[in-house]
Structure 1
Amino acid sequence: MKRLLALVFILIGMTGCVEDKPRPEGNVILVPLHVTNVSNDVVEVVSQSQLASLNIKHYVRNKDVYVECYIPNFSFKEKGGNKVSGEGHIEVSVDGKKIDDMNTAAFIVKGLNRGVHEMMVEVVHNDSTTYDLKKIWTVSIQ
């Protein structure tokens, strides 16, 4: 009887050791790495991820448009200087006309006339070459 009881406890204990491990919730993103230098002590790797997305949130209030930009792995810098990947600013255009260069993620476009306007935000390097990231949307001013 003791052996049967011991066998039951062993079987119950073994059922807890299965391959069904918990998986992380949410989106899991894998970034490939490229090994550039290998030694016994240090391995240098370089991320091959590029700026892949530009998310814009906007809010219209009276004649002003409040804009918030989210660009993963990006640092806003003043216009000018050397071209550095992951750094730069954004160019803001309204109705096809460039309004200004912005070096902040949030800004306000003030004093738009009544009607429908096409807005564009484009991400550029400090030397004004493009990242090929831009968003175009329309706003209606009442």
Structure 2
Amino acid sequence: MTKTVYMDKYPIFSLSIEKNECKYDTIEAILEDLKAKVEAHPIAKFIAVFNNYEHTKSLEGEIAPEILDARNLVFCFGQAIPNSKILAVRPRSIGICETKERFILDFLEAPKEQMHATMESWVKSLINVA
């Protein structure tokens, strides 16, 4: 897992998994696994799967040629609303991108370390440990 700062301000955590090292062969199977983890979590709430690839394609927007598919799993960990600012960092999203050789999962750093650790464990669990 690597951390980068995107556009000089967004802390993004990324995991690139070679297809032969992933538990799943398709982006749909990855989404189902992650969705099940969200639904099993005591405070997480599944919201949607957003097909970013189809949306961008429908707008005739630019898509990097190596990207075959791109979707977001959208969910929320909201257990409290201590102030209005917390709403700016909710809901959460894990982006799943498919290329010819790998799946790349990206998510924005969560404000609470426990939630961040949960998301990190979810994406790392996709690696086939054989």
The structure with higher relative contact order (CA 8 Å, sep 6+) is: 2
Normalising to structure 2: TM-score of the pair?
0.29
Higher strand share: 1
More helix by share: 2
Larger Rg belongs to: 1
TM-score, normalised via structure 1 length: 0.27
